[in-house]
Amino acid sequence: MGASLADPGSNGQRPYRFDFGDGPAEPSYIGVRAGDAYTPERRYGFNTPEHMANVAAGGTGVGSDAVRFLEFGTKSANTFNVDLEPGLYRVSVTLGNTARASVAAEGVYQVMNMTGNGATDAFEIPVTDGQLNLLVTEGKAGTAFTLSALEIKRISRHPVLSPTIWVGGDSTVASYYPLATSVQGGWGQLLPDHVNPHAFQVRNIATGGQIARGFRDGGQLETILQYSKEGDLFLLEMGINDTNPKNETTEAQFKEIMRDMVRQVAATGARPVLVTPQGRATDFNADGVHSSVNRWYRHATLAVAAEEGVPVVDLNVLASAYFTRIGPAATLALYMAGDTLHPNRAGAAELARLVADDLERQGIVPAAAR
């Protein structure tokens, strides 16, 4: 434990691997305990180790132990710091035991609401100031935010993100874990399977229960504004939770918040694309036609798109046409059991296909081989 960090190879491609907690480090990993403070000589460590704790974890290997962040928040100084040469890095994260936690780095969210013990995910991040500053932070109040392992690999000497499709939305869009085998799914999670990977990476920043105001003001939009650039896309689907009376958002208020986000993202050079939410599985009439055109503040979303001159993927109508074609029983099979709102993995895949197909039809993204 506590060894100094060796210099990377001349091509910068050898990854750094960190195994957190007070158990023995796995082979090829650098062991890091909660009390290991950052020093310039070591080149990694916790900025405020007094706010860290070693904890057990329910997995095996690197997942058998972890460190817990006792102070957290995207702007918290209680970070794990690693000195890195400038460049673009891929960071793979393995959490310890946690109900729901997000990963932040460089003061903004990177991965939203990872769920389940030992959850894993990865993200690209440009490092320009010689150091990565990362922490696990709040996804759900009152739960533990723990980190079992990190792998950090430089993928380019140029600290610029690949062309990116940023996705914002709610629980019908969000990612669920394990990413490759989750029962529930969001279309943002499955979208990478339907987009040409040589043209775009997909970064899904959607979260369950989210409303337009919360996405704008709670830190998720901040991530997109920090990193988005010309050539990127921003797909934004909101409205389902905004229409819930408890969220106290009128349609007029919703419309102006959506307009504000469109304008802020457009100012970065990225291209906003608005998406309308699909309806419920049960939105069939007596003739077997599915329609939900009056749900979820859809008309306000269409109005913002028209007034701001941005494209819209009317997933509400696209999904209804698909549901009508396959019928009520097959439609219900694309939703979670006993739930007419949230798609399962198969349903999310179909919605992602519909979104990608319409983006291609409009010439917004190139065709994907699928």
- The catalytic residue positions are 171, 339, 342
Residue with tokens 């990362």: 134
Spatial separation of the C-alpha atoms in residues 7 and 13, rounded to whole Å: 11
Q: What is the DSSP letter of 295?
A: S
DSSP secondary structure of 56-71: E-SSSGGGGEEEEESS
User: 247-276: b or e for each residue (b if 16 or more CB lie within 10 Å)?
Assistant: eebeeeebbebbbebbebbbebebbbbbbb
Mode of pairing for the β-strands spanning 233-237 and 271-275? parallel
Q: Which one, of 40, 51, 41, 15, lies nearest residue 30 by Cα?
A: 15
Spatial separation of the C-alpha atoms in residues 355 and 228, rounded to whole Å: 20
Other CB atoms within a 10 A radius of the CB of residue 236 amount to 27
Spatial separation of the C-alpha atoms in residues 300 and 92, rounded to whole Å: 38
Residue with tokens 């796995």: 26
Other CB atoms within a 10 A radius of the CB of residue 321 amount to 12
Q: What is the CA radius of gyration of the chain?
A: 21
* Burial (CB count within 10 angstroms: exposed 0-12, middle 13-18, buried 19+), residue 36: buried
Are 5 and 30 a contacting pair, CB within 8 Å?
A: yes
In 3-state terms, what secondary structure has residue 183? Answer: coil
Q: Which one, of 190, 204, 47, lies nearest residue 110 by Cα?
A: 204
Strand partners, 109: 104
* Residues sharing a CB contact under 8 Å with residue 153, sequence separation 6 or more, in sequence order: 13, 14, 15, 16, 89, 90, 92
Spatial separation of the C-alpha atoms in residues 314 and 361, rounded to whole Å: 12
